[in-house]
């Protein structure tokens, strides 16, 4: 089924060798790189749109673990939550590996299968409050403010569901400004389980 997206042979086809993203996908390894954008839809092999499709496709092939490597500054929350929901809906466990994860990418990192959420030794993760530009008349501003509060609640509740050890009040306090964590600090926070060691992937 994965052949819909990638040619799964390591032989030369059409004068081209299979690319690294194709080879990794054939081994159930996917890479989420760059911004999770909502308005400029990314359909490259490393964007959230194709990652969601590939997760669903791999889940249909078998229920073996899928490894997701993440290097992203985050992006639009709607896109992030769509990916989060996709991961949580699969029968296959998703093992996550964070290189550099910020904002919504940190939640995607945390959403992986418990005991199989990894960060690289020199990686940094960051959480913060939702960012939005509010405009319009008074009533429009009120509606937008309510939506931002809902998104903030969703973010915190999801982090707690994923294993964050701090309570809601403390997480909100941490997110009031950019809250950066080293690999070990992310483990202590409960959003990952271990630091990547040789041979983990």
Span 162-168, average pLDDT: 96
Q: Output the pLDDT for position 17.
A: 57
Q: Give 81-93 pLDDT, tens digit per residue.
A: 999 999 999 999 9
Q: Which of 72, 103, 111, 123 is the catalytic position?
A: 103
Share of the chain above pLDDT 70, in %: 82
- The distance of Cα 65 from the centroid of its chain, to the nearest Å, equals 16
Residue 122 has pLDDT above 80, yes or no: yes
Domains and CATH numbers, the chain: 2-195 (3.90.226.10)
Question: N- to C-terminal Cα distance for the chain?
Answer: 23
Q: How many CB atoms lie within 10 A of CB 163?
A: 15
Integer Cα distance of 69 and 47 in angstroms: 12
Higher-confidence position of 75 and 147: 75
Give the three-class secondary structure for 78.
helix
Higher-confidence position of 99 and 148: 99
Span 180-197, average pLDDT: 97
Q: Output the pLDDT for position 9.
A: 38
The residue assigned the tokens 């290189």 is 99
Q: pLDDT band for position 12 (50/70/90)?
A: very low
Extract the tokens encoding 30.
Answer: 């996917």
- Asked if 128 is an active-site residue, the reply is yes
Dihedral sign for Cα 110, 173, 157, 144, please.
negative
Residue 115 has pLDDT above 90, yes or no: yes
- Asked if 103 is an active-site residue, the reply is yes
Q: pLDDT band for position 148 (50/70/90)?
A: confident
Q: Give 13-51 pLDDT, tens digit per residue.
A: 444 556 788 889 999 999 999 998 865 555 667 889 889
Q: Which of 82, 100, 116, 128 is the catalytic position?
A: 128
């Amino acid at each position: 089924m994965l052949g819909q997206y990638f040619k799964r042979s390591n032989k030369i086809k059409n004068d081209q060798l299979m690319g690294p993203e194709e080879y990794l996908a054939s081994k159930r390894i996917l890479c989420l790189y760059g911004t999770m954008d909502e308005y400029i839809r990314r359909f490259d092999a490393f964007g959230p749109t194709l990652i969601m499709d590939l997760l669903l496709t791999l889940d249909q092939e078998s229920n073996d673990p899928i490894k997701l490597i993440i290097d992203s500054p985050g992006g639009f929350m709607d896109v992030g939550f769509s990916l989060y929901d996709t991961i949580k809906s699969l029968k296959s466990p998703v093992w996550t590996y964070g290189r550099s994860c910020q904002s919504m990418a940190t939640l995607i990192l945390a959403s992986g299968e418990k005991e199989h959420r990894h960060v690289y030794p020199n990686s940094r993760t960051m959480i913060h409050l939702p960012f939005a530009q509010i405009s319009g008349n008074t009533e429009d501003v009120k509606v937008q403010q309510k939506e931002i509060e809902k998104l903030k609640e969703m973010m915190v509740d999801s982090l707690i569901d994923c294993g964050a050890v701090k309570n809601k009040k403390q997480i909100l306090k941490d997110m009031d400004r950019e809250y950066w964590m080293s690999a070990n600090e992310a483990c202590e926070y409960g959003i990952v389980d271990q630091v990547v060691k040789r041979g983990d992937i």
